[in-house]
Amino acid sequence: MTSAMPPSGRGALAKREARLAWNLLFPTIAIVSLVIILPLLAIFWISVKPVGLADLRPVAPIVKESLRGSDGELRIEYRVRNSSQSKAVGGVSFSDTFPDTVVPRDIPAPCTFTAPALTCDFGTIEGGYNERLRIPLATDLDKDTAEDTLEGTAPRVTGSGDNILTNTTFTLDNFRRIFDSKEFGAVLWATVFYTVVGTIGALVVGLFAALLLNKSFRGKGLLRGLYLFPYVSPIIAVAFTWVTLFDPFSGSLNALLIQMGVTQGPINFFGQRPQALIMVTVFEIWRYFPLSFLFILARMQSIDTDMYEAADMDGASPFQKFWYLSLPMLLGILSVLFLLRFIWTFNKFDDIFLLTGGNAGTRTLTVNVYEQAFAISNIGAGAAVAVVIFAVLLCFSFLFLKYISQEEGL
């Protein structure tokens, strides 16, 4: 009779298996954490720093040399400048070594020459500093030979300045700027409308398309391929097509509406409120309903058909079969799709930017990140808007997973 392994043995084996599993997963977890956490920490850091676009370049002195003149009248030019337009750099100096066949003369201040090295000490230079030093050369070499000789002696530059990205200066002005802005309410409204209506619309259209194709008929495969066309087409191509189609002057739709007597004049669909926001939302629904369609159709085809046969025998109508049989079975996949589509739509940037550029009331939070960071060169404010986006999505995901998904058993 075989005796069972004692509980301590099972516990020790389970612990060894758990350690092995964690050791195997650690490289993947570490890489994913670095890819996700480090950029996220950088965004949080920049959001509380007064950082402009020009501050991304380190504050440092820059020295470039070049050989000018002609044979017999050669001179070397040093261009000394501060990489920052506003911050000073201290301890700035550079030195350059000359071969015996090339000797600088008429040394200007603040430079000194002690063979074979030329040393220039500038001390502290203010932001925007830019100066050229022109030093004649005494040499019997022609210009090409002298240039080849001097190529291997690049100036050695020293000096450092305060870097706003790494110092201890912090501020909440970036958040005050975006929350005190008169346009923030309009931006938030456009984001909520675009996200909620676009997400629900894509799910409803995808559900309707799945219901239509959840039958066997000739040409079903071709129709499925056509349904996928909006999703697989390049965004730049379909956005350009929509802008051209709805153009108020040369668009086919406007010409058709005028000829049919629907409108008296052209409608600027992407250039005026509220049509622009409605159109970009319709574009979102049209472009991304195929993803919902694929998931919903796959789930519908896995439902046992015996339930529908029993419902037919009981005289249930098509609507009753959908409402009482299909929909409860689809709630799980619909919940997951709603969560994913909400996050993706909330983060959507390229569609709106290509269609309207964020004009005519279509500036969402993601477009606002771009405009703050690059249009007005305020990287800190752009990062602050990105932090707001992250906080909103984090709260939404938490509430969704806590309340809605628990009811659906996810």
What local confidence, expressed as pLDDT, does residue 406 receive? 55
Tokens 């051209």 identify what position? 244
Average pLDDT taken over every residue of the chain = 86
What local confidence, expressed as pLDDT, does residue 1 receive? 46
Mean pLDDT of 75-100: 89
What local confidence, expressed as pLDDT, does residue 385 receive? 93
For residue 331, pLDDT beyond 80: yes
d(CA 41, CA 19): 29
What local confidence, expressed as pLDDT, does residue 189 receive? 93
Residues 113-158 pLDDT 10s: 988 899 999 999 998 899 999 999 888 888 888 888 887 778 899 9
Q: Please check whether residue 248 is in contact with residue 265, taking contact to mean a CB–CB distance below 8 angstroms.
A: no
Mean pLDDT of 348-365: 91
Long-range contacts of 183-187 (CB under 8 A, 24+ apart): 183/363, 186/361, 186/363, 187/363, 187/364, 187/365, 187/368
What local confidence, expressed as pLDDT, does residue 337 receive? 92
Three-state DSSP class for residue 279: helix
Question: Do the strands 61-68 and 117-125 form a parallel or antiparallel pair, or are they unpaired?
Answer: unpaired
- The percent of residues in the chain predicted with pLDDT above 90, rounded, is 37
Mean pLDDT of 349-369: 91
What local confidence, expressed as pLDDT, does residue 408 receive? 52
Give the angle subtended at the CA of 181 by the CAs of 176 and 186, to the nearest 5°: 130
Residues 162-207 pLDDT 10s: 888 888 888 899 998 888 878 888 999 999 999 999 999 999 999 9
Q: Where are the alpha helices (DSSP H) in 126-183?
A: 143-150, 173-180
> By C-alpha distance, which of 362, 179, 163, 369 is closest to 280?
362
What local confidence, expressed as pLDDT, does residue 158 receive? 92
For residue 364, pLDDT beyond 50: yes
Task: Give Rg (Cα) of the chain.
Answer: 33
Residue 262 DSSP class: S
Q: Which amino acid, 381?
A: A
**Out of 2-11, 13-22, 195-204, 344-353, least confident range:** 2-11
Domains recognised in the chain with CATH numbers: 60-161 (2.60.40.1170), 184-362 (1.10.3720.10)
Q: Please check whether residue 110 is in contact with residue 120, taking contact to mean a CB–CB distance below 8 angstroms.
A: yes
User: Per the structure block, which two tokens stand in for 167?
Assistant: 């110092």
For residue 409, pLDDT beyond 70: no
What local confidence, expressed as pLDDT, does residue 188 receive? 92
Residue 48 DSSP class: T
What local confidence, expressed as pLDDT, does residue 10 receive? 58
